[in-house]
């Protein structure tokens, strides 16, 4: 006879799976009425809590407290760093984090998530926006709380954490216009990603506030990679008419490609073109010239996401509005006043 799952017990008791898991592990106190419902559900279903003996004889070892960190691309330095920070915080809190990347074009992008749910996942953090609605629906069916990071506000249906991407973009445009630039291009990753959309709004609103007409030929989007940045600068310089004197690149990985292209064609940065990035990845301070960029405090972002998830696990569900983490412009050598 098939062993009933912890999720089945949770459904029978009308509580979240994470509540049952933490209660049985001795990590959560619940109201007497809730405890009674859980124990009655266990008895009715014949559920047996999996407990293994510690091989060293120190004590009993309960089911792993698995938490998944879902990213859209582990090859992206920004997402990989976020996952690392989050994993450290979860481990310090006594959880077992597992990081996985969603392959958007796969036959079943959520196959890895489904497999881990079968192993007893009790919580999740997601960043990058890939398959967010499908992931949320899947986790809700299992009663697993989800904390989303940088999801489009109007699409948000769960607690989450956001960077102040819009403010960061406005800081960039204010800075560039004060340097005398008015022909400012915008290069970004896919516009359907929430952080990109917010940064584009900040770029456009910043130009409008400065009385500058938006030149759509100066707005290019593509994949978040150095290769795209290299190709984008080549494309920008091929347009007839006025060339941009500055470019706001919505991701540092793309900006590194822009700088590489400028170096190859001997375009002086910042003498002939000022370049500003966003994220402040480690490479930003190692390229030549060092990149002016918007610093996103990844450690604080991960800490806020981890804290929100721990609160959700304690409450049995994710609730409350998003936490917004501020960002700041860091001026280095890739920008200069227009002469």
User: pLDDT tens digit string along 95-152?
Assistant: 888 888 876 556 777 888 888 888 888 899 998 765 677 888 888 888 888 898 987 5
Mean pLDDT along residues 266-292: 96
Let me know: does 150 contact 165? Beta carbons within 8 Å: yes
pLDDT band at 26 (very low <50, low <70, confident <90, very high): low
Residue 142 in contact with residue 113, Cβ under 8 Å? Answer: no
Higher pLDDT, 278 or 3: 278
3-state secondary structure of 202: helix
DSSP secondary structure string for all residues of 279-328 = E--GGGGTSSSPPEEEE--HHHHHHHHHHHHHHHHHHTS--SPPEEE--E
**49-58, 108-117, 198-207, 329-338: which range is least confident on average?**
49-58
In this prediction, residue 2 carries a pLDDT of 57
Phi/psi of residue 109, nearest 5 degrees: -60, -25
246 pLDDT exceeds 60? yes
Q: What is the pLDDT of residue 141?
A: 84
Choose the most confident range, by mean pLDDT, from 73-87, 252-266, 314-328. 252-266
Q: Has residue 245 got a pLDDT over 60?
A: yes
Nearest-CA neighbor of 135 among 96, 161, 108, 153? 108
**What pLDDT was estimated at residue 39?**
84
Sign (positive or negative) of CA dihedral 179, 266, 332, 252:
positive
pLDDT at 269: 97
Q: What pLDDT score does 78 carry?
A: 84
Please say if the pLDDT value at position 29 is more than 80: no
Residue 3 has a pLDDT of 59
Instruction: Answer yes or no: is pLDDT of 284 > 90.
Output: yes
Question: What integer is the mean pLDDT of 247-256?
Answer: 96
Instruction: Work out the pLDDT band at 272, boundaries 50, 70, 90.
Output: very high
28 vs 176, residue with greater confidence: 176
Give residue 55's pLDDT band: very low, low, confident or very high (50, 70, 90).
very low
- CA angle (183, 188, 189) in 5-degree steps: 170
What's the rounded Cα separation, in Å, for the pair 276 and 144?
A: 39
48: how many CB neighbours lie within 10 A of its CB? 9
Nearest to 122 by CA among 142, 137, 149: 142
Confidence category of residue 60, pLDDT binned at 50, 70, 90: very low
Which range among 197-206, 299-308, 313-322 shows the weakest confidence by mean pLDDT?
A: 313-322
pLDDT in tens, 134-144: 888 888 888 88
Q: Distances from the Cα of 146 to the Cαs of 69, 302, 325, in angstroms? A: 10, 14, 18
- DSSP assignment of 271-285: TT-EEEEEE--GGGG
pLDDT at 263: 96
| CB-based contact 328:171 (threshold 8 Å) | yes
- The overall average pLDDT reported for the chain is 84
Give 164-223 pLDDT, tens digit per residue: 999 999 999 999 999 999 999 999 998 888 889 999 999 999 999 999 999 888 999 999
**Contacts of 288 by beta carbon, 8 Å cutoff, 6+ apart:** 259, 263
């Amino acid at each position: 006879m098939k062993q009933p799952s912890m999720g089945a017990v949770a459904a029978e008791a009308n509580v979240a799976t994470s509540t049952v898991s933490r209660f049985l592990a001795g990590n959560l106190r619940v109201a007497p009425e809730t405890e009674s419902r859980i124990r009655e559900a266990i008895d009715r279903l014949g559920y047996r809590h999996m407990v293994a003996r510690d091989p060293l004889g120190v004590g009993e070892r309960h089911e792993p407290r698995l938490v998944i960190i879902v990213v859209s691309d582990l090859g992206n330095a920004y997402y990989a760093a976020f996952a690392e920070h989050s994993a450290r915080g979860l481990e310090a809190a006594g959880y077992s984090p597992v990081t996985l990347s969603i392959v958007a074009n796969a036959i079943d992008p959520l196959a890895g998530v489904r497999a881990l749910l079968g192993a007893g996942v009790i919580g999740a953090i997601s960043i990058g926006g890939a398959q967010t609605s499908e992931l949320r629906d899947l986790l809700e069916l299992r009663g697993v709380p989800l904390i989303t990071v940088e999801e489009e506000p109007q699409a948000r249906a769960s607690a989450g954490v956001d960077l102040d991407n819009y403010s960061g973009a406005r800081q960039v445009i204010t800075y560039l216009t004060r340097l005398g630039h008015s022909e400012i291009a915008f290069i970004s990753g896919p516009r359907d990603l929430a952080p990109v959309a917010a940064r584009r709004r900040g770029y456009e609103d910043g130009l409008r506030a400065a009385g500058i007409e938006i030149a759509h030929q100066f707005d290019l989007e593509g994949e978040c990679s150095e290769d795209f940045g290299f190709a984008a600068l080549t494309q920008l310089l091929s347009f007839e008419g006025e060339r941009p004197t500055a470019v706001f690149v919505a991701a540092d990985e793309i900006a590194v490609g822009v700088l590489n292209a400028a170096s190859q064609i001997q375009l002086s940065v910042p003498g002939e073109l000022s370049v500003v990035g966003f994220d402040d990845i480690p490479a930003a301070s190692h390229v030549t010239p060092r990149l002016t960029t918007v610093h996103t405090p990844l450690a604080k972002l991960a800490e806020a996401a981890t804290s929100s998830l721990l609160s959700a696990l304690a409450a049995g569900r994710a609730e409350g509005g998003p936490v917004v983490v501020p960002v700041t412009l860091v001026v280095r050598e890739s920008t200069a006043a227009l002469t």
